[in-house]
Amino acid sequence: MTKRALITGITGQDGSYLAELLLRKGYEVHGLIRRASTFNTHRIDHLYADPHESGAKMFLHYGDLSDGARLVTLMAKIHPDEVYNLAAQSHVRVSFDEPEHTGDTTGIGAIRLLEAVRLAGVDCRYYQASTSELFGASPPPQNEDTPFYPRSPYGAAKLYAYWVTKNYREAYDMFAVNGILFNHESPRRGETFVTRKITRAVARIAAGKEKYVYMGNLDAIRDWGYAPEYVEGMWRMLQADEPDDFVMATGGNFTVRDFLVEAFTRAGLDWEEHVRFDERYLRPTEVDALVGDASKAERILGWKPKVQTPELARIMVDADIEALKHEGGTWIDRPDLPDWK
Ligand code: NDP
Ligand code: GDR
């Protein structure tokens, strides 16, 4: 029997890699997309086949995590075997500007989806995209037993989503799990997250299109892994014998400055000549250091990432340099960034 998956957030970085993975594994993939006045499916266009054609395996449905009734209708219509809740207002800095919206989608959105599963009477496995931001101010290394101490409206909203997922597991015997994922990046990373902002700027500076990139706190420590490896971890979590929560991380310990050095050096540039400070990119409360201990995932799921942060930086710089050569012709190039990038 063909397995059926529903992915919320399918148009995002992780959603697109997960859709690719599941299609490769023979799944029928259903994705929730938001109606927008412009197309927002550039990351998954290469996977799409006209549903009128025989053999189409990916189907997109309009919906929004703020619309609970629609989620119930879709759940009843699709009857998925696996649900991956990846949708969220996922930008930490933006969550200070839009705290209520972030709470509504990133937090309450999760319970709307869990309720939709319950109300539609669907027997499925549920994955919640939890995050290392839950640990916030708790010092590294962080694992499944580290106390949570979120430092942003985003982190607090994800904390709610984490606990309702665990609660539905205990209250209704659902196979509902949290993947507590540390930062993971790729050439498909949103352009306003720090790694992609840097690698995109490196490409543009190397091509003479820009001279400077404006940055915030360079001392923050992160554990940056490679997104395609992490979506494989999500899938493994839903194939496990028992529902449980897992940290996924590389264990690497790098500052934003380290990432800058690696990325600029890859293009033969001196980062100090091109990086300037702008306090706009500081956060009212910062998460100083996130370094994950993913030994439980390795022990129980056999999951171990291969790509470490320096190699990731090189992959992303190379991809952005390549994308710039085809300026205007590929989805990767987006010259019209808003001013909060
Ligand atoms: P992205 O920001 O790239 O993608 C977010 C997705 O959510 C997009 O498809 C977006 O749709 C969708 N979305 C946003 N709001 C709504 C809404 N109200 N209703 C329906 N869909 C919505 O995130 P990533 O792919 O990087 O991350 C995936 C998930 O994992 C997120 O929940 C994130 O918080 C979490 N996470 C990410 C980590 C990372 O390092 N990448 C680490 C840990 C957790 P649209 O395209 O229309 O905007
Ligand atoms: P983060 O990612 O907040 O860890 O959340 P982001 O890339 O935005 O920031 C990482 C660190 O870099 C510092 N920083 C800057 N950040 C941005 N965006 N822009 C800048 O100019 C800049 N300068 C310095 C930040 O202060 C921060 O310390 C990501 C998201 O994907 C979340 O959804 C996810 O849950 C976590 O990772 C794990």
Report the SS3 class of residue 17.
Answer: helix
Domain that holds residue 144: 4-185+224-248
157/134 Cα distance (integer angstroms): 9
Q: What is the four-CA torsion angle of 217, 218, 224, 226, rounded to 10 degrees?
A: 100
Binding site membership of 283 for ligand 2 (Cβ less than 6 Å): yes
Span 8-35, mean pLDDT?
98
The whole-number pLDDT of residue 111 equals 98
Q: Is residue 80 part of a domain?
A: yes
In a domain, 63, yes or no: yes
Looking at this protein, which amino acid is placed at residue 90? S
Which amino acid is located at 178 in the chain? Answer: N
**Residue 49 per-residue DSSP state:** -
Residue 190 forms part of a structural domain: no
Does residue 86 sit within a domain?
yes
Q: What is the mean pLDDT of the chain?
A: 95
Query: Has 48 been annotated as catalytic?
Result: no
CATH code for the domain of 241: 3.40.50.720
For 74-125, the pLDDT digits (tens) are 999 999 999 999 999 999 999 999 999 999 999 999 999 999 999 999 999 9
pLDDT, position 199: 98
Does the annotation mark 2 as catalytic? no
Query: Can you say which residues are annotated as belonging to the binding site?
Result: 126
Looking at the structure of the chain, the number of domains it has is: 1
The helices-and-strands tally (H runs, E runs) of the chain is 11, 13
In a domain, 292, yes or no: no
Residue 41 among the catalytic residues: no
Is position 253 within any domain?
no
Between 256 and 49, residue with greater pLDDT: 256
Which protein residue's CA is at the shortest distance from atom 37 of ligand 2? Answer: 183
pLDDT at 188: 98
Residue 40 lies in a domain: yes
Whether residue 54 is contained in a domain is answered as yes
Ligand 1, atom 26, residue with closest C-alpha: 13
Predicted-complex ipTM score: 0.99
CB of 183 closer than 6 angstroms to any ligand 2 atom: yes
For residues 131, 135, 136 and 140, what is the CA-based torsion angle, rounded to 10 degrees? -110
Q: What is the pLDDT of residue 55?
A: 84
Average pLDDT over residues 185-201: 98
Catalytic residue among 8, 102, 106, 131: 131
Does 12 contact ligand 1 (Cβ within 6 A)? yes
Q: Tell me how far the alpha carbon of residue 92 lies from the centroid of ligand 2, in angstroms.
A: 7
